[in-house]
Structure 1
Amino acid sequence: MNYALRIPDYYKDDIESVKGNVSLNQFIVNAIAEKVASLKTLDYLEQRAARGSREHALKMLKNASNKQPNDLDSF
């Protein structure tokens, strides 16, 4: 799939400073992939939240242990 893309000149310095040593095309492809992934993640989390309930979450928290974690539980 090919698109003609017009990027405003005022983004030039910012793009050059963050893209590293990859091509502008690869930078844009990666940016699109990141945006799509974040939107899919947001959609997934909203769907999960819609299926959940505050009552169930509070019930689960009541069952949580009050025991302190041991040294091997943390990094």
Structure 2
Amino acid sequence: MSKATYPLKLPTSLKKEAARLAKQDGVSLNQWIATAVAQKIGVVETTAEFLKRRAGNASGSGLSEILRQAPDRAPDPGDELPPDWVSS
């Protein structure tokens, strides 16, 4: 496996916590950070794939028709638009 270096600058508090967790796991800080990055990549890629599969062949073309069928009523309490909201 080829490796590349990257000068990572972390806030002191994050580095301290990461070092603590790495020690708790019995691995180096470098290995712990590399594993954390790999896990994050896996989550992001898995989520993107899941959403693509979930969407299937769907498109936004029928969305307007679906929205036209929605009842015209006031939003539930807490679902109102902010008073300064402007339609674009």
Deviation above 4 Å: which 4+ runs of structure 1? none
Q: Distance in 2 between matches of 1:27 and 1:65?
A: 50
How far has the Cα of 1:43 moved from its partner? 1.4
The aligned length equals 67
How far has the Cα of 1:48 moved from its partner? 2.8
Q: TM-score, normalised by structure 2?
A: 0.52
Residue from 41, 46, 53 that aligns with 1:47? 53
Structure 2 residue runs of 5 or longer lacking an equivalent are 23-28, 81-88
CA gap of 1:70–1:55, structure 2 versus 1, over 3 A, is same
Q: Distance in 1 between matches of 2:72 and 2:7?
A: 51
CA radius of gyration, larger in: 2
CA gap of 1:7–1:55, structure 2 versus 1, over 3 A, is closer
Q: Distance in 1 between matches of 2:2 and 2:33?
A: 13
How far has the Cα of 1:37 moved from its partner? 1.0
Q: TM-score, normalised by structure 1?
A: 0.58
